[in-house]
Amino acid sequence: MGVVTFDAEDRWNAFVTLCRKAEHRDDGPLAGVRVAVKDNISTAGIQTTCGSAILKGYVPPYDAHVVTLLREAGAAIVGKTNMDEFGMGTTTESSAYGPTTNPVDVSRVPGGSSGGSAAAIAGGLVDMALGTDTGGSIRCPAAFCGIVGLKPTYGRTSRYGLIAYANSLEGVGPMGRTVGDVSRLFSAIAGHDPRDATSLDRPYDHTPAPEVKGLRIGVPAEFFGKGVDPAVAAEVRAAIETFTELGAEVVECTMPSMQYALAAYYVTCTCEASSNLARFDGVRYGPGADTIRSWHDAYQDHRKEGFGAEVRRRIMLGTFALSAGYYGKYYGKAQAARKNVREDFARLFADVDVVAGPTMPTTAFKLGEKSDPLSMYLADILTVPANLAGVPAISVPCGTVDGLPVGLQLIGPHFGEERIIDAAAAFEEVRA
């Protein structure tokens, strides 16, 4: 066994917990590589808080499956990274442990909810990190911080040990400085886990091949619609044109289901959150509230003290949407819209190999700029469709606007990670 000393100065509040001495195996493809882990992924013996006060001091007795695989690959786990509380947010400002700042411009957010993982990489503290992506939580901070982030096909990485927020949407994925780093990390964590009923037996063993000749790239008009900053759109259009120069064919197309995707996503994720977070009641999980009131009042006090405003908002929204008389009006319609998104992707991938567009409609926001929850939700419009359909998507840096990074999003069909990683590698090689 080797030991890595991690004495880096965290100027961006990227970490909730630092492991100054991290043991690692001397063999394996990631031997001695410093890897940070998002704080909603269980790590035996290391505090895991989900960015929430309700789990402060919680030390899991076991490793998540992806963490077990990391240790077997020789990685040194050097800390747990900051995040929006329970993954609910687009800025990493809702953490109970303070906001993370963007290493590119510290007056701006790093994106969320895997903002700590992205800042740790962009700030040079680590080369690789694990994030989780429920509605864009890997790709958004990757785009805002100028790094690479991959949301895998749903089920290609195990969710065993991932503290649940929205089961049917979320998954663990790799983040890194380069496409090659992301590919290496994904090789280590992908594969079947019998403890996760949604886990699929599709390991990843691929070396990026920067070749796109003959590739058909679909560009939906809706990805450049209302709300997308024209400067960001121009930068991404120029990036897509690069593929044409490399021998790919760009195909203009449409994705009508986009107009309902965001609403379907937020109804689905809040409904699942209202169920998943019910366990944090001061009895089963979390410290009890200091109260002598009746059980129901104590339950209310405990959750009011332990959860932040955004988490309480989403629990209430989800509970309302699932309540008697409203299930069909909200949840049922959301699932119908989700089916349409999935069918739209299937139709597109019958004609093209990859779908391309911006990762985020704007560059990174100023800290505190998004005080209205609805405007925050609208920022996820370009990332949530991939989660609703369960298809893989990668964000790769493609330029800057006013000195701030812009991300190019490449979406593939189910199990199409190799294809989008190759395309991202080709783009990265040309832009290097």
Determine whether 107 is an active site residue. Answer: no
CA 415, 384, 143, 431 dihedral sign is positive
**Contact at 8 Å (CB) between 80 and 36?**
yes
CA atoms within 13 A on the CB side of 225: 14
Helix (H) or strand (E) holding 311: helix 309-321
**CA 306/CA 299 separation, integer angstroms:** 11
**Contact at 8 Å (CB) between 383 and 392?**
no
**CA 207/CA 407 separation, integer angstroms:** 22
What letter represents residue 102's amino acid? N
Determine whether 137 is an active site residue. Answer: yes
DSSP, res 279: G
What letter represents residue 421's amino acid? I
**CA 405/CA 399 separation, integer angstroms:** 6
Residue 361 CB neighbour total at 10 angstroms = 21
Q: Which two tokens stand for residue 184?
A: 């290496």
The distance in angstroms from the start CA to the end CA of the chain is 36
Looking at 114, 137, 183, 395, which residue is catalytic?
137
Instruction: Give the residue among 13, 60, 265, 39 at the shortest CA–CA distance from 132.
Output: 39
Q: Which residue has the tokens 């006013």?
A: 402
Residue 133 CB neighbour total at 10 angstroms = 29
Q: Which residue has the tokens 């002598």?
A: 292
Strands across the sheet with 128-133, in order? 15-18, 76-81, 34-38, 128-133, 171-176, 148-151, 393-401, 404-411, 354-358, 216-220, 249-253
Alpha-carbon distance values, 161 to 15, 40, 58, 68 (Å): 19, 9, 14, 10
Looking at 42, 52, 113, 199, which residue is catalytic?
113
Q: Which two tokens stand for residue 332?
A: 């049922």
Q: Which two tokens stand for residue 7?
A: 């004495």
Catalytic annotation, residues: 38, 113, 137
